[in-house]
Amino acid sequence: MASIKNNKGTIGILTGGGDVPGLNPAIRAVTFRALREGYNVIGFRRGWGGLIDIIRDKKHDNSNNFTELSKIVVNKAARTGGTFLHTSRTRPSHVVKAKVPTHLRDSYTDEVNDLTPEVIKNLDWLGVDYLIAIGGDDTLSYAVHLFKKGIKVMAIPKTMDNDVPGTDYCIGFSTCITRTIALTNSLRTAAGSHERFLVLEVFGRYAGFTAMLPTLAGAAHRCLIPEAPFNIEHLTELLSEDRRKNPSNYSIVLVSEGAKFEGGEMKFEGMEKDAFGHAKLGGIGDEVSLALKNVSPKYNNGNIVNVINQKLGYLVRCGDPDFIDSVVPTAYGNLALDLLLKGINGRMVVLKNGRYDHVPIEVVTETKKFVNVEKYYDRERLHPFYKNFEMLPLFIMTSD
């Protein structure tokens, strides 16, 4: 399937990194608008992985790496969560020897290889005029790399953690918060029945938005975030007080997966790292639970308080998108096409202060987005801080 370009041209689209609800609506929005404007649309499978594995021979079956998108296909998919194009954490500029595609192994023999030249050749062979990448800061950092190489790229921010810099909102965040609140409210019945502490580990590697917003909404008594290391004695004292004041005799803490004990480090499930250098986080909820149980007699008249410990994990990222994660991806996709039709590229579409906008794509690699602890988090209360909501944006804690 070489040189499929006709009409006005061809637009490529891909999704990378973790799956979230809202990706399929974004793909639908781009495809519908692009087809209406006279463009063909190619969907690359498995994120950047599909772009390094193409064999540039029109007789070869490359259907495992890309597919031409139609209204029928994307319209049906848009009703569901996840990404029907599939995803990966491939980083074409850093491909280890064992993962170099078979047909390229004679040309790329280093322990770590830069396959960017192959990506550029594949885009040219397919006649792709513009590439739209949907992902978090890892996926989009490679989009920045391609843009600097001369490829016409647009970026759409996606991540449950809501930590892509330059935007107040990333696709997937609203559904994540909605599910976290719902699951917490379901689990509180068990915590109340057994009069226990409830510890829920949620996503959030470097930024604590996914723990902060549900707590702000009243789902939990306390939250622990990556930006503010916590003291276990202080946490136990607060949760014990919350438990005593609660008629059902339980209390809840949300723990970001990247949270750290004072003087401690992040907890990992293993030492293996992905292509972007990240080891899989996990285990802080277990350690907090054990520590709470051990310290609890000090604040409960010498009696142990048992703990219900649950990692919410993929439960908050699976299933259908909510209202916001259906509408925002539609707006993002159309905004990306608006810009391309004006001949503009190298931008990331964003929401800032409640309005759709776009910023230079380089913001992804030039800055980081964290919770502003001094402005939004009370270290003493281990709780979101808020005083005056007047003129604040919809999601309160924004990309300052």
Report the pLDDT value the prediction gives residue 3, as an integer from 0 to 100. Answer: 44
Q: Based on the domain organization, do 148 and 207 belong to the same domain?
A: no
Q: Based on the domain organization, do 378 and 351 belong to the same domain?
A: no
Active site residues: 161
Count of structural domains, the chain: 2
125 lies in some domain = yes
Give residue 208's domain range.
174-316+373-384
Report the CATH number at residue 222. Answer: 3.40.50.460
Q: Based on the domain organization, do 310 and 328 belong to the same domain?
A: no
210 lies in some domain = yes
Q: pTM to 2 decimals? A: 0.94
Report the pLDDT value the prediction gives residue 4, as an integer from 0 to 100. Answer: 47
The secondary structure of 329-345 as a DSSP string is HHHHHHHHHHHHHTT--
Q: Based on the domain organization, do 31 and 161 belong to the same domain?
A: yes
399 lies in some domain = no
395 lies in some domain = no
Q: Based on the domain organization, do 333 and 293 belong to the same domain?
A: no
Q: Based on the domain organization, do 56 and 197 belong to the same domain?
A: no
pLDDT tens for the chain, 400 residues: list them.
Answer: 444 445 789 999 999 999 999 999 999 999 999 999 999 999 999 999 999 999 999 999 999 999 999 999 999 999 899 999 999 999 999 999 999 999 999 999 999 999 999 999 999 999 999 999 999 999 999 999 999 999 999 999 999 999 999 999 999 999 999 999 999 999 999 999 999 999 999 999 999 999 999 999 999 999 999 999 999 999 999 999 999 999 999 999 999 999 999 998 887 776 676 666 666 677 899 999 999 999 999 999 999 999 999 999 999 999 999 999 999 999 999 999 999 999 999 999 999 988 999 999 999 999 999 999 999 999 999 999 988 888 888 888 876 6
397 lies in some domain = no
Q: Based on the domain organization, do 132 and 210 belong to the same domain?
A: no
Instruction: For helices 173-194 and 209-216, give the axis angle rounded to 10 degrees.
Output: 60
Tell me, what DSSP letter sits at residue 226? T
Q: Which of 19, 73, 30 is nearest to 330 (CA)?
A: 30
123 lies in some domain = yes
Only one residue has tokens 């004292």, namely 237
Q: Based on the domain organization, do 28 and 162 belong to the same domain?
A: yes
132 lies in some domain = yes
Q: Based on the domain organization, do 103 and 213 belong to the same domain?
A: no
Q: Based on the domain organization, do 119 and 196 belong to the same domain?
A: no
Which H or E element spans position 234? helix 232-245
CB neighbours (10 Å) of residue 63? 10
Report the pLDDT value the prediction gives residue 393, as an integer from 0 to 100. Answer: 81
Q: Based on the domain organization, do 102 and 39 belong to the same domain?
A: yes
Report the pLDDT value the prediction gives residue 277, as an integer from 0 to 100. Answer: 65
Report the CATH number at residue 32. Answer: 3.40.50.450
396 lies in some domain = no
Q: Based on the domain organization, do 231 and 332 belong to the same domain?
A: no
